[in-house]
Amino acid sequence: MSPSVHIVYIRTFLNGWIAARRMRFLAESGLSDRCVLCHRGMDSIEHLPHCIIIKEFYRHLGINMHNLESFLALEQRQFPEMLPAIAEAIAAIYLARNAIMHSPSNLFNPLELVIQMHVQLNG
């Protein structure tokens, strides 16, 4: 794994993403508090295991994910074998999410963008 994948994984584990739920003080900014990928749940790390885009992405990768612990590869049966694959998946999600946040979201198919970012990380 590259150092950038390690950093994203650690940032995720420590709830360090710039997300609406963490940035409540920006509530008056007019920014949406919805997930930028599915537009259904709250923009938070806690939502990601429930996001339909993330669930489909993990299915695409053949990773069984059903809660926050499995999303982060913290379940005993996953660790340490699944950690590299899941850390790379999380890094792809992070990159895709940031691309969508900084561009009009209607320009991207979120699932295709996450898959594309994952391919680039493994390229």
Q: What is the DSSP string of 43-88?
A: SSGGGGGG-HHHHHHHHHHT----SHHHHTT-STTTTTTTHHHHHH
85 pLDDT exceeds 90? yes
- The mean per-residue pLDDT over the stretch 115-119 comes to 95
Q: Which are the contacts of 44, defined by CB distance < 8 A and separation ≥ 6?
A: 19, 20, 21, 22
d(CA 50, CA 3): 27
pLDDT in tens, 10-56: 998 888 887 766 556 555 555 667 888 998 988 888 999 999 999 99
Q: Is a pLDDT exceeding 80 seen at residue 95?
A: yes
Domain span at residue 37 reads: 3-122
Count how many domains the chain has. Answer: 1
